[in-house]
Chain A
Amino acid sequence: MAARAKKTKTTNLRQTAFTRFTLIVAVLVLWMGGIGVRLVHLQVTKHEWLKERAEGQRQDIKRSKSPRGTIFDRNERALAMSVRVKTLYADPTKIEDVKTAAKTIAKVLNVKETELSKQLAEGKTNEKRFMPLAKGLDDEAFQRINKALDDSSIRKADLPKFNGLHWREDQIRSYPYKALAAHIIGFSNAEGVGQAGIEQSQNDILFGASIKRTQERDRLGRVYDETVSEKEPPKDIVLTISTPIQYMTEQALEKAVRASSAKSGIAVVIDNKTGEILAMANYPSFDPNKLNEITADNLSNAAIQGVYSPGSAFKLVTYSSALERKLISPEAEIDSGNGTIEVAKHKFTDSHAIGRVTYAKAMAQSSNVCAIKTGMRVGKEGFYETLKNFGFGKVTGVELPAETAGIVRNPDRWNGDSLASMSIGYEIGVSALQMATAFATIANNGVRIQPHIIKEIRQSDEQTVSVAQPEKTQVVSAETARDMRIMLRQVVVDGTARRAQLNGYTSAGKTGTAWKFDEKLKKVNSAKYVSSFIGFAPAENPAVTIAVVMDEPKVGGRDGGQVAGPVFREIAQQILPELNVKPEGFIGEEETFEEVSETVSSGPSAESHVDREPKASVVSKVPVKKETKPESTEAKPVSAKKPEKAKLAEKDVRSKSASPDKRPAEAKPNVQTKNKSSTEKKKGKT
């Protein structure tokens, strides 16, 4: 019995132990299963939420922009650059006591406490997270504010140590040279997007790429790891313009516009051997640092965006076309008759008859009749081909926005007198840059080099990315170009542009004067002119081509030679030494010039002109069937049969030898000693 009881007891103990063991295992399994389920739940279902939370606790993602690329001139002078500034902003939701905070902040920032308190309270109510308090602060202000706002009781890794206040990095664009080259550089808006000039056309290159910083922070908020991911960094742009030349050009233009009370003025300086634009000035101008002062009148870069009728300056194309086809030569003669020519029932006149003259003389005297006759000899197709080869009617391709192609109609749309009108620079619209390029082509032995304003583009580490490679085209032969230079030289020596004579250098060029089209009157207004002079210097081996266009000069002379010629002179005289061009000789400043005014127009009538002009936005349109003002053209018959080249050379020598030296002693070349006697004689006279 006892044994049975003992057996039963042993069995029960084993069962109990087994039951207990099973229970423990079950509890463990349940426990582990519960944990497993929870883990699966957390890691699968709530994975994203937990990840975000974890990252939020230790990671801080900051986005900023790298500074926009810098624009340099050819001498490495920074014309536009961005600098980092700081913005202090508040997160009102993190400010507990708005009034106390406003009091402290107002004291530091020197703002009204009540207004700030009101704004912060409003921000807190509306749960605003970003409220800028002070913008564009430099490093000094940043340090000062941090020091003033420092609250030692606050455990915060970032500055300022003040609850709810943070710093944000921004950048501002600055133009240190203010209005200098403003039309070329342009400006960018607050978001750092270019709005005009190079800033606009090269926005993709200059644009400051966004930078993403992923900062790992410890429990105290200190950054212990940082990953910076930056898209392609911005590049810097080096322009072809030279700051001193640009400044001289702008100064000369401004003075001339003010003195003649002109509406506006344009000046373009091109290195004709490379096609580099050394200066491009417009007046009135603007300061890109003061965007609120920019108006529609001063914003436009008229040198490339404005279209005007070139007038007589376009005779360059007419004569080049004829010279290229060997139809004329500078020494050959042409009879202008009685100074009148009728083409398609339209009478074109010179201001007075100049009789039988050489082509060089006809060009110098700016005879319309001779130019028309020459144009007629060339013919429609030939003339059109030449003007297209010179680049008229299409954009030059300069790296500036909104460049105009000008207005050139196809020959099938020409009227009976169109060829005649175009021969003297009417019924055509050109830009100042196109005209400068055409003259630069002649200066460069007939090779047209595409004008460009960007010299190179490079990375911030000074590694050049791309260099300008302008297109080169032989427009006319070197012989034609040489003959044209002789004819253009005659214009300055003995023609309508005597005021473009330089001191110590020879120059050549052509004047142009055209009546403007009046949008209100819907016809040309004989009281409004566009006067221009486009030339190059030195005449023999030109270094620069300068185009000067004056819009509506009111005071003083109206002719290109009177208004624009002196501007050319002033610019050329200052920049030639800058370009290390050696003086050739001296033209006396005190020599009196016999003024030769220019034939303005004998183009088509105003009414007919209105019908035929394209409806494009045109700065000035041209011609009228009106008698020109009487000009004092030297209509002397050619007495001697000397070759024109020989005469020109003689004239040059004469003028050089008869010139008193007004240049500083250190700039005097050897010629001075040779001409000493004649100089003394001249001085004695004066």
Chain B
Amino acid sequence: MRKRNTPIAHPTNISSRDIGPLPWSYFVVIALCGCVLAAGFFLAARQHFTSMEFGMKNSQLRKQLEDLESENRRLVLAREISLSPAEITRTARSLGFYDVGGGTSSFAVSASDKTVKPLFLKASTDSSPAIEAIPASITMTAYQRPVKARPSEKPVKPVAPEKLVVKKLEAAKQKTVKAELAVIAKR
């Protein structure tokens, strides 16, 4: 059987030991390790800063999302406000429409009045016969609405249809002439 633990022959004198130069492979290994370490640090640093950057972007996006949600809520609210009956009424009034059912007095019928008349709408301010004749069940549309000229507005003179046609033709003619002149000028 072969003896495994062969005694190592230590040199008795250190000075007599032959010290040669370090092999280049050592340097290569050390350099590689150094590179790996540096690359590791570099990558870690890069990841750290990237994560910070992402964190910042994430935070900004989160804020943006919240802002958009808030904006959405605001828009929904604005839509609801504009759809509310009070707002529609206000806008309609500003456009010149008025409430035909506002002055109905069909509820206030005297106790002594034994015979109830049919329920007709009565305009509270305007006693226009066109309105009085409309029964309660019919809702007036914009087309049925009797147009009442505002006192400040100047009455518009009616223009005959033939005159209107002539005017339109003249305008079209002038437009064509102008276009032709422009083309000539370009040339």
Q: Is B105 an interface residue (CB 8 A)?
A: yes
- CB atoms of B70 and A139 under 8 A apart: yes
| A570 smallest CB distance to B (angstroms) | 8
With A224-B56, A259-B105, A589-B118 in contact, do A138 and B74 touch (Cβ < 8 Å)?
yes
Contact partners of B83 in chain A: CB under 8 A: 77, 176
| B145 smallest CB distance to A (angstroms) | 16
- Which of chain B's residues has its CB closest to A566's CB? B107
- CB atoms of A566 and B71 under 8 A apart: no
Q: Which B36-62 residues sit within 8 Å CB-CB of chain A? A: 51-53, 55-56, 58-59, 62
Contact with A along B101-143 (1 / 0, CB 8 A): 1001111111101111111000000000000000111100000
Contact partners of A672 in chain B: CB under 8 A: none
Contact with B along A552-567 (1 / 0, CB 8 A): 0001111100110011
Contact with A along B71-110 (1 / 0, CB 8 A): 1011011001101111000000000000001001111111
| A253 smallest CB distance to B (angstroms) | 10
A223 contacts which of B59, B115, B137 (Cβ < 8 Å)? B59
A499 contacts which of B74, B105, B116 (Cβ < 8 Å)? B116
Could you tell me how many residues of chain A have their Cβ less than 8 Å away from some Cβ of chain B? 57
Q: Considering the chains assembled together, what is the distance between the CA atoms of A558 and B111 in angstroms?
A: 7
Q: Which A597-626 residues sit within 8 Å CB-CB of chain B? A: 597
Q: Is A87 an interface residue (CB 8 A)?
A: no
- CB atoms of A663 and B86 under 8 A apart: no
| A199 smallest CB distance to B (angstroms) | 16
- Which of chain A's residues has its CB closest to B138's CB? A664
- CB atoms of B59 and A215 under 8 A apart: yes
Q: Is A107 an interface residue (CB 8 A)?
A: no
Contact partners of A566 in chain B: CB under 8 A: 106-107, 119
Q: Considering the chains assembled together, what is the distance between the CA atoms of A138 and B73 in angstroms?
A: 12
Contact partners of A522 in chain B: CB under 8 A: none
| A643 smallest CB distance to B (angstroms) | 29
With A77-B80, A78-B76, A84-B70 in contact, do A556 and B116 touch (Cβ < 8 Å)?
no
Q: Considering the chains assembled together, what is the distance between the CA atoms of A570 and B108 in angstroms?
A: 14
Q: Considering the chains assembled together, what is the distance between the CA atoms of A83 and B72 in angstroms?
A: 9
| A40 smallest CB distance to B (angstroms) | 30
Q: Is B67 an interface residue (CB 8 A)?
A: yes
A555 contacts which of B55, B56, B108, B113 (Cβ < 8 Å)? B108
Q: Is A353 an interface residue (CB 8 A)?
A: no
- Which of chain A's residues has its CB closest to B76's CB? A78
- CB atoms of B81 and A259 under 8 A apart: no
| B135 smallest CB distance to A (angstroms) | 5
Q: Is A592 an interface residue (CB 8 A)?
A: yes
B77 contacts which of A83, A222, A225, A558 (Cβ < 8 Å)? A83
- CB atoms of A174 and B55 under 8 A apart: no
With A226-B62, A589-B137, A593-B115 in contact, do A557 and B110 touch (Cβ < 8 Å)?
yes
- Which of chain B's residues has its CB closest to A67's CB? B73
Q: Is A155 an interface residue (CB 8 A)?
A: no
- CB atoms of A593 and B116 under 8 A apart: yes
B108 contacts which of A174, A260, A499, A632 (Cβ < 8 Å)? A260
Contact partners of A499 in chain B: CB under 8 A: 116
- Which of chain A's residues has its CB closest to B78's CB? A176
Q: Which A570-612 residues sit within 8 Å CB-CB of chain B? A: 570, 573, 588-595, 597
Q: Is A525 an interface residue (CB 8 A)?
A: no
Q: Is A256 an interface residue (CB 8 A)?
A: yes
Contact partners of B119 in chain A: CB under 8 A: 566, 589
- CB atoms of B138 and A259 under 8 A apart: no
With A177-B84, A178-B86 in contact, do A595 and B55 touch (Cβ < 8 Å)?
no
Q: Is A656 an interface residue (CB 8 A)?
A: no
A180 contacts which of B76, B85, B108 (Cβ < 8 Å)? B85
Q: Considering the chains assembled together, what is the distance between the CA atoms of A312 and B93 in angstroms?
A: 43
- CB atoms of B56 and A222 under 8 A apart: yes
- CB atoms of B85 and A177 under 8 A apart: yes
- CB atoms of A590 and B80 under 8 A apart: no
Q: Is A498 an interface residue (CB 8 A)?
A: yes
Contact partners of A174 in chain B: CB under 8 A: 77
Contact partners of B138 in chain A: CB under 8 A: 662-664
Q: Considering the chains assembled together, what is the distance between the CA atoms of A73 and B138 in angstroms?
A: 27
Contact partners of B66 in chain A: CB under 8 A: 84
Contact partners of A81 in chain B: CB under 8 A: 73, 76-77, 80
Q: Considering the chains assembled together, what is the distance between the CA atoms of A223 and B62 in angstroms?
A: 11
Q: Is A96 an interface residue (CB 8 A)?
A: no
Contact partners of A589 in chain B: CB under 8 A: 118-119, 135-137
Q: Considering the chains assembled together, what is the distance between the CA atoms of A216 and B136 in angstroms?
A: 67
Contact partners of B51 in chain A: CB under 8 A: 224
- CB atoms of A556 and B107 under 8 A apart: yes
| B106 smallest CB distance to A (angstroms) | 6
20 sampled A-B residue pairs with Cβ under 8 A: A81-B76, A82-B73, A84-B70, A177-B80, A178-B86, A215-B59, A216-B55, A223-B56, A224-B52, A259-B104, A566-B106, A566-B119, A573-B137, A589-B136, A591-B118, A592-B118, A593-B115, A662-B137, A664-B137, A664-B138
Besides the known contacts A224-B56, A594-B115, 6 further A-B residue pairs in the complex with CB atoms under 8 A apart: A176-B77, A176-B83, A259-B104, A556-B111, A562-B109, A662-B135
Q: What 6 pairs between A and B have smallest CB-CB spacing?
A: A176-B80, A224-B55, A556-B108, A259-B108, A84-B70, A259-B107
